[in-house]
Structure 1
Amino acid sequence: MTDLASDDPPTVLVPVRVLEGQALPETLAAFLAPADVVVLGYHVLPEQTPAEQASMQFEDRARSAVEDIADAFRDAGGEAETRVAFTHDRDQTVERVAAEVGAAAILLPNPVGDVEDVLVAVRGAIDTDRLADLVATLVAEGTQRVTVLGVTAGTDFDADAAVTDVRDRLRAHGVAAARIDTETAVSERPVADVVARSAEFDAVVTGESEETLWSILFGDEPERVAEGAVAPVLVVRRGPATESTSG
């Protein structure tokens, strides 16, 4: 287990389609306020459109919109920085900015009311300490209940051990045992199982299950969860040179 002592809250990268009127609910901003937030306002350009041309035409509008979103986090008492990017490759841009700001997680937003019940979905080898640190940071001062769900397809992934590890790390990070529920499930379609359960919760936290680039993961399981999930999804990135302990 890594050292739990850290004065710096984890950073969450919040990518938004800045010129399409995408907004974040105030309740979601309040939930994320204990973390440091970087709002990335991006716009995907047609292949033939130079980024410089789009920047000259739309940058002022984009910066104003992304600052409005960042203000929601500031109004909730959080710290928020902003970035604007005009890009031909969304995945590459998100990956690059996540690396630059040292993001612990990336938000894939969905509409939400008050965040009271959080699903922590564990499937495969993940950075359990980074995940526990983020979840504990977000819920430490609140009253949210956390359900740690380990899903296995019957492979060599030990869902029981993974759930126990995440629960113990949450407790070590200061989350009261009474606020943590644990479950395991065997499913032929683990991602679909997580999506189905998401309707019961206000936010979903999951993790990268392989040491792959975010550009690959953006189109892999985390995004499939986000596309089907009712709740917002936080995807926890693996730390540098991290060895999983979750089985």
Structure 2
Amino acid sequence: MPPIGELTILIPIDVSNPDPPGLEVIDALRPFEVILLGYFPVPDQAEPALIKHEYEDEASARLARIAEGRDGVTEVLVFTHDREATIDRIADQYDCDAVLTAGDTDHIEKVLVPIRGDANVERIVSVVAGLLGRSDATATFFHSALEDAEPSQGEFLLRGAVERLTEYGIDGSRVDWKLSEEGDPSQNIVAMGTAYDIVVLGETEPSLRERIIGVFLSTLIDEIEIPALIVRDVE
């Protein structure tokens, strides 16, 4: 568990794109250590070393332009056949707490935190504590009771997460919770996300490869417009 305010966040970006995004979100995450992973997809039939020889200079230049003028950013360039495996490996190598994917924003004032169950909740709460501990942001924990036998279980889960966050020293007035008893959980999160700057999600499996392949999170990340911070389950 990272101490409050101390987070390492991995941001993967496809540097084969001649016009990569500016990623202003890095500025919003400035208090934290950011690992900027520039990955260059290599076709299955191609040799990574040959592709690297041909494109390394321009890929490095694209990565450098994003990191330019931003302190606390570590640049990593990889030519790879397997994006997911590369993300997983680099996240392990740099002991990252979370991986940022999808969307962009230049500020983090409102944080949405869907809780699907009690797995990985402690790490999710610790990452949210880090975000709130270095800012004036507020957070809303959300749960769909459709995933539980009884709605009361969801309320118990949400209240417990809020209480745990306040134990990190976060003022309770900056945290609330919402429980849904109808609708599709994924679509509920997408709809709610329009009112927030970032969504914090937990891995559903013990690796980023399963997280990316997993139906629930893959669908959600594809549809949601705000950045998604995926908290790694590394215990």
TM-score, normalised via structure 1 length: 0.85
1:172 and 2:167 aligned: yes
Is the CA contact 1:199–1:230 (under 8 Å) kept in the aligned structure 2?
Answer: yes
Q: Percent identity?
A: 25
Partner Cα separation in structure 1 for residue 169 and residue 22 of structure 2? 28
Q: Structure 1 residues 31 and 8 mapped into 2: Cα distance closer, same or farther (>3 Å)?
A: closer
Which of residues 216, 228, 233 is equivalent to 1:233? 228
Choose 176-185 or 17-26, whichever is displaced more. 17-26
Superposed CA RMSD in Å reads: 2.1
Which of residues 156, 163, 166 is equivalent to 1:161? 156
Is the CA contact 1:199–1:231 (under 8 Å) kept in the aligned structure 2?
Answer: yes
Q: Structure 1 residues 51 and 154 mapped into 2: Cα distance closer, same or farther (>3 Å)?
A: closer
After superposition, where does 1:1-247 map in structure 2 within 5 Å? 6=3, 9-20=6-17, 21-26=19-24, 28-71=25-68, 73-74=70-71, 79-156=72-149, 158-187=153-182, 189-210=184-205, 212-220=206-214, 221-240=216-235
Map Cα deviations across residues 180-228 of structure 1 (whole Å, 9 max, x no partner). Answer: 1111112452112111211111111111134x32212102222322111
Residue type matched to 1:100 in 2? Q
Unaligned runs of 5+ in 1: 241-247
Residue type matched to 1:122 in 2? I
Q: Which runs of 4+ in 1 moved over 6 A?
A: none
Partner Cα separation in structure 2 for residue 71 and residue 186 of structure 1? 46
Map Cα deviations across residues 132-178 of structure 1 (whole Å, 9 max, x no partner). Answer: 22122222232212111122324348321221222122212222111
Map Cα deviations across residues 40-69 of structure 1 (whole Å, 9 max, x no partner). Answer: 001212111110011111112222222222
Is the CA contact 1:41–1:84 (under 8 Å) kept in the aligned structure 2?
Answer: yes
